[in-house]
Structure 1
Amino acid sequence: MFKKTLQLTMFLAILISIFVITKPYWENWIVGANWILGALSIFFSFSALFIGIVIFLENRHPSQTLTWFVVLAAFPLVGFFFYMMFGRNYRKKKMFDQKALTDEEAFSRFEQNRAIDDDNMKMMGDHQRLLFQLAQRLGKSPISFNTDTKVLTNGKETYTCILEALRNAEEHIHMEYYIVRHDNIGRQIRTILMEKAKQGVEVRFLYDAVGSWKLSRDYIDQLRNAGVQAVPFLPVKLPLFNNKINYRNHRKIVVIDGNVGFVGGLNIGDEYLGLNPTYGYWRDTHLMVKGEAVRSLQIIFLQDWYSMTGETLLDPNYLSPEIPSAQVYGGVQMIAGGPDHQWDIIKKLFFSMIISAKKSIWITSPYFIPDEDILNALRVAALSGIDVRLLFPARPDKKLPFYASRSYFPSLLEAGVKIYEYRKGFLHSKIIIVDNELASIGTANMDMRSFHLNFEVNAFLYRTKSTLRLVDDYIQDLEDSTPLVLESFHKRGFYYKILESTSRLLSPLL
């Protein structure tokens, strides 16, 4: 009943909007148009009040609730449509209950019985062991000590490895991306996928309907005509009537023959190769995975595929990766987060990493919009003498998150956090390194959207060679960055302070 009431309200709002837009064409022929506009004003005011009550009863975080109240009170018309497009949270749990249940069953069936070497677990410190236990409890994916990983720095190295692995595929290719472009690298990948499908390789291609909204119909049609199964994730036909529009699949996953996987920050597009003149050089990080942890990536993909197609593919043929030669690689754990989980998994693991630090916390994120828990944990760590660093792009690709992020800088700098602006190009890596031995790399940014709204996937690494490579890359990135100085930052223009504060006000909604 409640959902139908909201849908009816949205339908009336659309009709009224059309009525207002076309007003200049017919108002000369209708007498008494003023009372109609007055009725519209009353309607939207009552709608804003009704939405305010709904938000209040949802018991969101106080900052989110107050932000919505301000937006609805100051801009009833704009606030109404903005809420209908991006703010509805009242049925999130119910929408994804079934997906959460089937995902948990899949991980329990194939991952919970995985044998864990006690000697490997003992080499971990107590504080780090607790983190991986938390990750396993929340994400259902156990840590693996039989997984080899390789850090791929930037687009050239990443696409070279992915293209080679695609060409060598013999049984199946599973790909899942947020953004797919119909440009040079997009066409290269499409050509390989089409060739492999014609050779009899099973090719499944899942792309986010909103992130890839510019992807041409011809691109998809050619894939499908060649035998590639290309499926959009949560397609949006009538945005105002689709309460899933705000929950997007931000994952970037490639699994080939169940033996090699890729995960990280790069989507499919020429800008990730530094070929977009707007962004120039593009700094990003991806991870190649071989061994047990590929099964976790495979399950994440197969469950996303099932949620969109109803096709069950949890079969040993897909879930029996080749295990590398016996040696200690360190610990690797793949964790999926999203609105289908009871807990904000990625956020809680980031928080656990931060409070577990003994010496250092190094963060790279293109969007830094933390909640109070993360913000206070970083400030307390810095005040305690821990080396806390934040590497952030010097120029934005999205202005609102960029300026919202900068609004957090003064309090961090005052607490002793070292903030560096990357100036060689645009920085898109999503990295956390703790004590030079524990790291997270994946698709999740340090922001509210990744914590609460997007479907994400991150690899958590403990004492792997990839962790050391991430440390080396971070040090190199600092060479291409300049530190922010609190006194100088305070002297930035008044215009920027207003812009940051305004963006900060909307940060709970980002």
Structure 2
Amino acid sequence: MNLWGQIILAIIFLNTVGAIYTVFHEKRDVTATWAWLLTLTMLPVIGFILYFFIGKKMSSDQIYDLKTQKSLGMSELAAFQKEMLEEEEFEKADADEEYRINTAILLLETNESILTRGNKVEIITDGEEKFNRFIEDIKSAKEHIHLLYYTFRSDALGQRIMDALEERAEAGVEVLVIYDALGCRGNDRDFFDRLESLGGKSEVFFGSKIPFVNLRMNYRNHRKILVVDGKVAYMGGFNIGDEYLGLGPLGNWRDTHLRIQGNAVLTLQSRFFMDWNAVVPEEERVKYEDRYFPISSKVGNTTMQIAASGPENDVQAIKMGFIKMISQAKKSIYIQTPYFIPDMSVYEIIKMAVMSGVEVNIMIPSKPDHPFVYRATEYFAKDMLAFGANVYIYQDGFFHSKVMVIDNEVSTVGSANMDVRSFRLNFEINSFIYDPDIAQELMTLFNKDIEKSLKVDGDYFENQSKWRKFKQQFSRLLSPIL
């Protein structure tokens, strides 16, 4: 064998040994382990570069710091409420209500997600409306503004919101901002400087020690939260930036966000403080104060829970909530998601629902913003279609809404996509809403979206090119790590 042959054999051997060690020395899901092993062995050198960016797990120190952040003011109430639901609610619940109580207890047990009643929930799907009201509520703040967004661009919309935050900070209102380092890549470096000079504070989530470069693609804070005076809150799918007004390369932007009043706001307040305390030095951590948690009287008719999940928890609370809702569906399931890449547990429970006669409807985008992710989405959509689900492909711009409605009775809206990344790798937050009126409003919006969508059949996928089908198959193999 010549010298070059020996060098190639040595590279293959070292790559294989390195792949085995790299993948198996960290505890991870079995499917993700095999997907990474495939990637590292099939793509020498390139596979390790990918792993360095998106495969490395959080350090044990980071996980410990995140786990030690307690829900301010929520833990004791969650324990009491779980006992109340188990002992009282089941006794007077009829058969149609029982599955909602089951979901509520699950989220209390896994996430200390308290059940709040008498909330007012408004659904917003238009970016202009969302951000106009968003800015109005910021300008109305008297005591404190707490904002956490995955993406907070330093563009025209971002500057409008920053101007409102700076004006309130200058007036003496407490302004705390968390932004994700990866979601805000490309921002002007001095974007938050004036806010801080006026007394506001900003913190980056999992920033990089290397200027201009962030090497960690996973474990991002994908949540979107605004809490004003502990009385009004926003959560959902819209990030902050011109593209979310339909001014980006993907064109019109279809998303779903919630404006919330009532005691559910307090659970979002608690979640914000948990994330804030995880990124600031110990001496700057916020402690419980009554002024942050003003108990409100009934302002609406909506009962709901706010659930969060992230890689610091072994229990994937949002995914478990999804599974619980789907497993108890009797008539219909409506899913809207930009990325449909379920793990095996979610895949099987949806498939079981379809094969049990439950009407399953899935809506996905027509435009890819991540090529591998979109091809995997196509693969799983095609698979569900073959089992009997209805699949709709939204045609009017980019579809970013993250919604599920069960039996026109219960629903969930939030930041979590129907994919492995949201279930296991990112920090997400979702509302679980037990209100038929909200469910019906979401169903009305779904039906309006159908008017702008293509309902596909088997021929749609069958007539695609062999190259596109290959990309779908290949992306499906990588789905545990996308």
Cα separation, 2, equivalents of 1:125 and 1:429: 27
Whether 2:62 is the aligned partner of 1:95: answer yes
Cα separation, 1, equivalents of 2:424 and 2:463: 34
Q: 2:298 aligns with which of 318, 325, 329?
A: 325
TM-superposed CA distance for 1:176, in Å, is 0.3
- What is the SS of the residue equivalent to 1:150? strand
- What is the SS of the residue equivalent to 1:258? coil
Q: Which deviates further from its counterpart, 80-89 or 427-436? A: 80-89
Q: Is the 8 A contact 2:151 2:179 kept in 1?
A: yes
Q: 2:338 aligns with which of 360, 366, 381?
A: 366
TM-superposed CA distance for 1:242, in Å, is 8.7
Q: Is the 8 A contact 2:229 2:292 kept in 1?
A: no
Cα separation, 2, equivalents of 1:476 and 1:242: 40
Q: Which deviates further from its counterpart, 500-509 or 291-300? A: 500-509
Q: Which deviates further from its counterpart, 117-126 or 330-339? A: 117-126
Cα separation, 2, equivalents of 1:364 and 1:51: 37
Whether 2:254 is the aligned partner of 1:283: answer yes
Which whole-Å deviations, capped at 9, do the CAs of 1:350-405 have from their partners, x for residues lacking one? Answer: 11111110111000000111111111111111111111000111111222211111
Whether 2:289 is the aligned partner of 1:316: answer yes
CA shift in 2, pair 1:61/1:315, >3 Å: closer
* Match in the other structure for 1:234: 206
Q: Is the 8 A contact 2:71 2:274 kept in 1?
A: no
Q: Is the 8 A contact 1:205 1:229 kept in 2?
A: yes
Q: 1:126 aligns with which of 53, 76, 98?
A: 98
Which whole-Å deviations, capped at 9, do the CAs of 1:73-122 have from their partners, x for residues lacking one? Answer: 12221112221222123x55553123223235753146544696856983
- What is the SS of the residue equivalent to 1:187? helix
CA shift in 2, pair 1:452/1:92, >3 Å: farther
Which whole-Å deviations, capped at 9, do the CAs of 1:451-507 have from their partners, x for residues lacking one? Answer: 001000000001153322211111111111110111332121112101211222221
- What is the SS of the residue equivalent to 1:381? helix
* Match in the other structure for 2:52: 84
CA shift in 2, pair 1:358/1:314, >3 Å: farther
TM-superposed CA distance for 1:331, in Å, is 1.6
Cα separation, 1, equivalents of 2:207 and 2:74: 26
Q: 1:307 aligns with which of 278, 296, 299?
A: 278
Q: Which deviates further from its counterpart, 372-381 or 217-226? A: 217-226
- What is the SS of the residue equivalent to 1:407? helix
Amino acid at match of 1:283: R
Q: Which deviates further from its counterpart, 497-506 or 43-52? A: 43-52
Q: Is the 8 A contact 2:307 2:431 kept in 1?
A: yes
Residue ranges of structure 2 left out of the alignment (5+ in a row):
none
TM-superposed CA distance for 1:148, in Å, is 1.6
Cα separation, 2, equivalents of 1:269 and 1:181: 5
- Taking the TM superposition and a 5 Å limit, the aligned residue runs for 1:84-483 are 84-89=52-57, 95-103=62-70, 107-109=74-76, 111-113=78-80, 122=93, 125-238=97-210, 245-276=217-248, 278-309=249-280, 310=282, 311-325=284-298, 329-463=301-435, 465-483=437-455
* Match in the other structure for 1:67: 35
Cα separation, 2, equivalents of 1:187 and 1:326: 32
Which whole-Å deviations, capped at 9, do the CAs of 1:284-312 have from their partners, x for residues lacking one? Answer: 01001111111110011011001111333
Q: Is the 8 A contact 1:44 1:80 kept in 2?
A: no
CA shift in 2, pair 1:38/1:256, >3 Å: farther
Which whole-Å deviations, capped at 9, do the CAs of 1:414-449 have from their partners, x for residues lacking one? Answer: 110100000111110000100011100000000111
CA shift in 2, pair 1:184/1:395, >3 Å: same
* Match in the other structure for 2:476: 504
How many residues were matched structurally? 473
TM-score normalised by L of structure 2: 0.91
Cα separation, 1, equivalents of 2:123 and 2:299: 21
- What is the SS of the residue equivalent to 2:68? helix
Q: Is the 8 A contact 1:175 1:253 kept in 2?
A: yes
Cα separation, 2, equivalents of 1:178 and 1:38: 48
Cα separation, 1, equivalents of 2:52 and 2:9: 18
Q: Which deviates further from its counterpart, 160-169 or 404-413? A: 404-413
Q: Percent identity?
A: 34
Q: Which deviates further from its counterpart, 218-227 or 363-372? A: 218-227
Q: Is the 8 A contact 1:391 1:421 kept in 2?
A: yes
Amino acid at match of 1:102: Q
CA shift in 2, pair 1:80/1:332, >3 Å: same
TM-superposed CA distance for 1:186, in Å, is 0.5
Q: Is the 8 A contact 2:15 2:40 kept in 1?
A: no
TM-superposed CA distance for 1:198, in Å, is 0.5
Whether 2:461 is the aligned partner of 1:489: answer yes
Q: Is the 8 A contact 1:291 1:321 kept in 2?
A: no
CA shift in 2, pair 1:111/1:196, >3 Å: farther
Q: Is the 8 A contact 1:45 1:76 kept in 2?
A: no
Q: Is the 8 A contact 1:93 1:340 kept in 2?
A: no
Q: Is the 8 A contact 1:48 1:79 kept in 2?
A: no
